[in-house]
């Protein structure tokens, strides 16, 4: 499990309430199998829901 300190050290802002992002295979059909593989999910699933605990804003010209 990540700690708040680890998230902040990586340059992210910790979200106080967290959030969720739904990934639907119909919006990313060509990459769906790769995404599922990356997350260890079954590519035949209906959708993936990712829990988000922090954000990092990357602007044009910023180094990642």
pLDDT at 64 over 90: no
Query: pLDDT tens digit string along 3-26?
Result: 999 999 999 999 988 899 999 999
How far is Cα 44 from Cα 9, in angstroms, rounded to an integer? 36
Full-model pTM = 0.68
- For residue 17, which of 53, 49, 48 has the smallest C-alpha distance? 53
How far is Cα 44 from Cα 41, in angstroms, rounded to an integer? 9
Q: Residue 61: what pLDDT?
A: 82
Contact (CB, 8 A) for 47 and 5: no
Query: pLDDT tens digit string along 21-34?
Result: 999 999 999 999 99
């Amino acid at each position: 499990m990540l700690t708040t300190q680890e998230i902040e050290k990586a340059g992210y802002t910790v979200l106080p309430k967290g959030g969720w992002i739904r990934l639907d295979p119909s919006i990313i059909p060509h990459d769906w199998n790769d995404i599922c593989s990356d997350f260890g999910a079954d590519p035949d699933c209906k959708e993936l829901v990712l829990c988000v605990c922090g954000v990092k804003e990357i602007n044009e010209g910023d180094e990642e």
